[in-house]
A and B are shown apart, each in its own frame.
Chain A
Amino acid sequence: MSKDLNLTLHVWRQKNAKCDGKFVEYPAKNISPDMSFLEMLDIVNEDLIRKGEEPITFDHDCREGICGTCSMVINGRPHGPRERTTTCQLHMRSFKDGDSVTIEPWRAEAFPVIKDLMVDRGAFDRIIAAGGFISVPTGSPQDANALPIPKESADLSMDAAACIGCGACVAACPNASAMLFVSAKINHLGHLPQGQPERYLRVRDMIAQMDAEEFGTCTNHGECEAACPKGIKMENIARMNRDFIKASLTYRPATTGGGGAG
């Protein structure tokens, strides 16, 4: 049985998007090393509530590493020090007794702070809405094997689809660029036959929306890939660039008339 931990937290407190924020120090006492990082914050919050203070607001949902909701930069790294780990799956055994822990929100112009550690990631939703979908005629489902898909394409698509949209890539990027997220969403459709009809429209629409949201641009540092809890590869960004170049070189202005059956 390992010993309980006593930590000092430096937490970003910000009332709302309009107010300035600041770091506030809180003690976290008698923390079991088996707790998750979020459970540790729950304990700190219970203590704050008992004392009549405002608890620390943070995003969380599934607490099993698949929803992408939990979002905080812990000691300068999104989701904390462990690779391929979301904050909810980060356990306090990753810290030592007496450690000082700085907790900050994702910081990006496109992710305005709602309160404390909670940011508005609606920009991601709007990027998806701009093109991260396929249009299919509805009706009864076709046989699963009607469309042959090479194993490699299915694997690459699934690797990209592992993206949970948490925003750690933006948080880790020195330029607050969203290109790892956008490229994952473009490629998980772009590798499959179902994604082909809108492939080149999609890449232009989603990049246009990404730019309109005022994310930064990729300078190929690789911090996103290192921070991604799902191991999304930078190769996706290169493939997105390739699709974008092709789309920009070959798109036709929308045609009118023509094409009718007469």
Chain B
Amino acid sequence: MSVAEQSIAGAEARGHGFLASSVGRKVVMAATGVVLFGFVTVHMLGNLTSYMGAEAMNHYAEFLHTMVHGMGIWVFRAVLLTAAGLHIWAAVTLTLDNMAARPTGYRAQQNVASTWSSRTMRWSGFILAAFIVYHLLHLTTGTVHPNFNHANPYANFVNGFKVPAAAGFYIVAQLCLGLHMWHGVWSCTQSLGLAHPRYDSLRRTFATGLTVLVVGVNISYPIAVLTGFIH
């Protein structure tokens, strides 16, 4: 039992700051979430160049590396790293708070409104974090790639997915991304205060549509390589 339970925290506590407060950290979670799902959407769209052949994809990769005199990609990387870091920081601290808020659980809690997606955010998020590390080592640095060639991203893409275990992990990770996004995209609108009865069903539809699109197209890449459609 905390001291606060006997007293009104009042003005002093009010000054405890945006980032220390529960709602403030929810806002950080939501805002960084917007950056991250915006990124996965653009990432999915950019990789569509793989369907247009080696030249198109390698040209696209070269554009990413040379835009704004080569600075662009570093700006993107810095923004993404910051967003991911803040997202994970908010998730970890809020989760610890939430676990402390209910030290004794129920014998048989019945879930009425929550979804499998909303209840597994921690796990899907954890798997995604692990996947991102693997994905960077696999197709960005090439550390865990069987035959990586910095000059030929298209070949790395195709050869990487020819390994069934790697392709399988990508597919599993994309399904986790789907679970994470379906709740996350809807949830971030709520955390940012964007709720209105006129747009409630639209929020759900948008979350479902974006999730199906991103995950569907992303899963098609390893499948297209494994089936020989992209070669």
Contact = CB atoms under 8 A, between A and B. Distances in A.
A227 interface: yes
Contacts of B55: none
Contacts of A215: 22, 101
A140 B127 CA distance: 64
Contact of A238 (B2, B11, B108, B193): B193
B12 to A, nearest CB: 9
Contacts of A176: 98, 101-102
A227 B194 CA distance: 23
Contacts of A217: 22-23, 25-26, 94, 97-98
B10 A174 contact: no
B5 A226 contact: no
B124 to A, nearest CB: 13
Nearest to A178: B101
Given A238-B193, A238-B194, A220 B27 contact: no
Nearest to B121: A219
Interface stretch (B63-71, B110-118, B134-142): B110-118
A209 B101 contact: no
A129 B191 contact: no
Interface stretch (A46-54, A58-66, A84-92, A102-110): A102-110
A245 interface: yes
Interface string B172-190: 0000000000010011011
A130 B114 CA distance: 31
Given A130-B9, A239-B195, A77 B110 contact: yes
A135 B193 CA distance: 27
Interface in B74-119: 94, 97-98, 100-115, 118-119
A110 B101 contact: yes
Interface residues of B, number: 55
A181 interface: no
A223 B112 contact: yes
Nearest to A217: B22
Interface in A87-146: 102, 104, 107-110, 112, 122-123, 126, 129-130
B216 interface: no
A231 interface: no
Contact of A209 (B13, B97, B98, B187): B13
Contact of B5 (A110, A172, A222, A227): A110
A238 B8 contact: no
Contacts of A107: 102, 104-106
A219 B11 CA distance: 27
A213 B10 CA distance: 12
Contacts of B105: 107
A239 B190 CA distance: 9
Contacts of A123: 5
Contacts of B18: 248
A17 B5 CA distance: 14
Contacts of A155: none
Which of A210, A215, A234, A244: most chain B CB closer than 10 A? A244
Given A102-B108, A207-B21, A238-B194, A218 B26 contact: yes
Contact of B196 (A76, A122, A218, A235): A235
B120 to A, nearest CB: 11
A4 interface: no
23 contacts: A73-B109, A102-B107, A109-B103, A110-B5, A126-B4, A201-B14, A205-B13, A208-B13, A209-B4, A212-B4, A214-B5, A214-B100, A217-B98, A219-B118, A219-B187, A226-B112, A237-B190, A238-B191, A238-B192, A238-B193, A238-B195, A241-B193, A248-B21
Interface of B: 1-2, 4-5, 7-11, 13-14, 16, 18, 20-27, 94, 97-98, 100-115, 118-119, 121, 183, 186-187, 189-197
